[in-house]
Structure formats: C-alpha cells, structure tokens
Chains A and B, each alone.
Chain A
C-alpha cells in the first residue's frame, strides 16, 4: 500500500507544471491545456484523500470537477473560435482590446 504523501507530492508537481505552462505558453489552446493539467492534479489530490480517509465525498467532488472542466472546455473553445475569426491568430497577446 502506497502512503498518501507520495500521491500528494506527485499531484503538487503536476499542478506546478500546469502553472508553469500557463506562464510560458502564448497559444490560447495551450493555455486551456495547462488548465486541464491543473484540474487533473487537484482531482488526484481529491481521490488520494478520499481513498485514504475512507470518505466518498472526495470522489463525488471529482465528478463535479469533471463537469465544470467539460463546460469550461466547451465555452473556452467557442471563445477560441470566435477570437480566431476576429483576429486571425491564436496568440494571447494579440487579444488586447481590453488592455490599456
């Protein structure tokens, strides 16, 4: 049986990789992929605690996280298509209409 802190440390590393990707990438779709990495790291934490504590609630929360991730992907990709139609680029720095 693997101790829980191994899983938690792995998910912390995955989360940090997601944050790093969000900082470094400029493509809008790559930013959405980085968000998916972060969501999955948090899901892993939820499931590890749920399994270690014998509590079902953590796994139910992972279901809700997946629903929110699906909704976020649908709306986010619709925004990506809309931005590409107006700007002809996927670079996040080109979408600067609200920037002063």
Chain B
C-alpha cells in the first residue's frame, strides 16, 4: 500500500513538474521546475529498485546538467521573448491535435503491456550488477562514450569561444 502511495505521489509530482515546465513563461522557473521533475523521477527509480540509477540521476542530472542550464540562463539574463507576434500560428493548430493523438496512441498501447511478475526477481539495480554488465558486455560502447564526451567538450569550447 505504501508503495502505491509513493508511486502516485512521485508520479503526480513528475507530471505536474513537467507540465509546469511548459506552462511557465520565465525560462528560469521552467528550469527549476524541471529539477523537481528530475528528482521525483529518481524517486520512481528507487521504487523500481534501481538504486544506483537513482543516485546517478540526482548527481548527474540535477547536480551537473541543470546547474549548467541555470548558469547559462543567468549568464544571458534574458526575460521572456516567448510571445512574439509574427510567429506562425498554423503549426499550433495542427500540432496540438497531433500531440493529443500521440498521447492517446502511446498511452493506450503502453496500458496493454503485461509482463509476468516472476521475471523481476533478479537483482538488476545494484551498483555491482550494473558495473559487471558495463565492464564486460558493454565495454566497447563505454569506451566510445568517453570519446563522445571529449568531442562534446571540444565542440562546446569551439562554439562558445568568441574568436578562435
């Protein structure tokens, strides 16, 4: 019973935070609301017994990525120029019904997924299980991501530098 209560609590906070990201006009409030959403997603990870990923979610997402976002928002110090007059209107009229159709399709198909609960007995969320898998089966992708990070650092420096 307590697990169901926690699921609905974290799920409601995550969904409300995500909606608030879209609704807010000040982009800094959007970023702060996204931090709330990411933290409650980490709570959902704990409920799924993925403790390691819950920690990584807090440290990497809310700790590193969102700090970068908030830093850039405060650096640029731009108020909302969200409502400009000459934006195209017809993409909204086509896009919003399309998005609602996507919601109906996705959630109705996801609602029909059934998996035998006995399969979930294996330990998948501990640091040991993930580490063993990461450094044996997924060693090559792991090394490739280090190259990706290096390329991203160099690319960010080149793009943001005033005159190279």
Binding site for B on A (CB under 8 A): 1-21, 23-27, 29-30, 32-34, 36-37, 40, 43-44, 47-60, 62-64, 66-75, 77-82, 84-85, 89-91, 93
Could you say which residues of chain A place their CB within 8 Å of the CB of B106?
A: 12, 15-16
Q: Once the chains are docked, how many angstroms separate the CA of A20 from the CA of B98?
A: 10
Residue in contact with A63 in the complex, picked from B18, B73, B134, CB distance below 8 Å: B134
Q: Once the chains are docked, how many angstroms separate the CA of A11 from the CA of B110?
A: 9
Chain B residue, CB-CB nearest to A4: B115
- Chain B residues touching A, range: 35 or more
Q: Once the chains are docked, how many angstroms separate the CA of A14 from the CA of B37?
A: 10
A16-B102, A21-B22, A67-B149 given as contacts; is B87 within 8 A of A93 (CB)?
Answer: yes
Chain A residue, CB-CB nearest to B158: A78
- The reply on B9 being an interface residue by CB < 8 A is no
Q: Once the chains are docked, how many angstroms separate the CA of A23 from the CA of B11?
A: 23
Could you say which residues of chain B place their CB within 8 Å of the CB of A3?
A: 114, 117
Quote the shortest CB–CB distance from A61 to chain B (angstroms): 9
Chain B residue, CB-CB nearest to A39: B61
Instruction: Report yes or no: A9 in contact with B81, Cβ–Cβ below 8 A.
Output: no
Instruction: Report yes or no: A47 in contact with B53, Cβ–Cβ below 8 A.
Output: yes
Residue in contact with B124 in the complex, picked from A43, A56, A63, A93, CB distance below 8 Å: A56
